[in-house]
A = this chain, B = another copy of it.
Amino acid sequence: MIKMYDLAGEDENRRFSPYCWRIRMALAHKGMDVECIPWRFTEKDKIKFSGQEKVPVLIDGNNTVTDSWDIANYLENKYPYSPSLKMFNGEVIFIKFWVENVLHPEILRLLVLDIHNHLKSEDQSYFRESREKLLGKSLEEVVANRQDRLPNLQKLLNPLRSTLSKQKYLSGETPGFSDYIVFGAFQWARCVSGFSILNADDIIYNWRDKMLNIYEGLALNAVGYQV
C-alpha cells in the first residue's frame, strides 16, 4: 500500500497541511488506499531519506516522490486507469500558483496563531520563529483585527466565486486536481480554526460542502471544526 508522510498537530489525528490534503484527495480520486504517517515540523530526520525536508512525501513501492505537484503528476501518469479518472488539464498549474501566491498567504495571516496553537510544543517554537521571521511581526500581531481583513479575502475569492456560479467544479462537471488544490486551502483552515472564513450563503461554501462529502466524507470526517 502507498504510504504518505502527513503533517500532524499535537493531536496526531489533526492533519491540516493544504499540500497533504491535495494528495489525500488525489489518491481518493484514483481510488487508491494510503497509509498516512503522522509527521511533525521538527521531525526533519524522519524524512531525510527523501532528500528534502517537507511533506507530503509519498512512498509507492520503490519510488519516493516529494512535492505535492510532482506527486500529483506521478499519480496521474502512473495510475491513469481510465479517462474518467483523469485529474489534470494544462491550466491547473495556474490555479496552483494562484492558490500558493495569493490565497494561502491571505489565509495564513488570518489563522497563523490557530495553527501554532494546535502544534506539539517542540513544533510551536520552530513554527513561531520561522513564521514570525516570514511575516515580520509576532503571530499575535498578525491575527489582530483579522475580522477586518475578511473583506480582502472575499474580494480575492471573486474569480473562484464566478467560476462556481457557472460550473459545478473548477475542473468542470466533476472534481479534478484544481479542485483539490483550492479545497486544500479551505480544509487547512477548517482543521485548525473555528474562525469562519466562508459564509453559508456563499457559492464557495456550497462547493466546499460537496468537496467535504465526496469520497465517503474523507475530508468531512477529518479532525477539525464545524465551520
Residues of A bordering B, CB below 8 Å? 89-95, 97-98, 101-102, 158-160, 162-163, 166-167, 169-173, 176, 178
Collect the chain B residues with CB atoms within 8 Å of residue A94's CB. 91, 94-95, 159-160, 163, 170, 178
Q: Are B172 and A98 within 8 A (Cβ)?
A: no
Collect the chain B residues with CB atoms within 8 Å of residue A92's CB. 91
Determine the residue in chain B with the shortest Cβ distance to A177.
B91
Collect the chain B residues with CB atoms within 8 Å of residue A167's CB. 90, 93
Q: Are A97 and B176 within 8 A (Cβ)?
A: no
Q: Are A90 and B159 within 8 A (Cβ)?
A: no
A162 → B minimal CB distance (Å): 4
Q: Are B91 and A159 within 8 A (Cβ)?
A: no
Q: Are A170 and B90 within 8 A (Cβ)?
A: yes
Copies assembled: 2
Q: How far is the CA of A95 from the CA of B160 in the complex (A)?
A: 9
Q: Are B163 and A93 within 8 A (Cβ)?
A: yes
Provide 8 A-B residue pairs closer than 8 Å at the C-beta atoms, listed in order of the A residue.
Answer: A90-B171, A90-B172, A90-B173, A91-B92, A91-B176, A93-B162, A93-B167, A94-B170
Collect the chain B residues with CB atoms within 8 Å of residue A166's CB. 93
Collect the chain B residues with CB atoms within 8 Å of residue A158's CB. 97, 101-102
Determine the residue in chain B with the shortest Cβ distance to A175.
B90
Question: 18 more A-B contacts (CB under 8 A) besides A90-B178, A94-B95, A97-B158?
Answer: A89-B90, A89-B91, A89-B172, A90-B169, A90-B176, A91-B94, A91-B95, A91-B171, A91-B178, A93-B162, A93-B163, A93-B166, A93-B167, A94-B94, A94-B170, A97-B160, A97-B162, A101-B158
A46 → B minimal CB distance (Å): 29
Determine the residue in chain B with the shortest Cβ distance to A89.
B89
Q: How far is the CA of A91 from the CA of B181 in the complex (A)?
A: 12
A89 → B minimal CB distance (Å): 3
Collect the chain B residues with CB atoms within 8 Å of residue A93's CB. 162-163, 166-167
Q: How far is the CA of A172 from the CA of B93 in the complex (A)?
A: 9
Which 10 pairs of residues, A with B, have the shortest CB-CB distance? A90-B172, A89-B89, A97-B159, A91-B91, A97-B162, A98-B159, A90-B171, A94-B163, A101-B158, A91-B178
A44 → B minimal CB distance (Å): 26
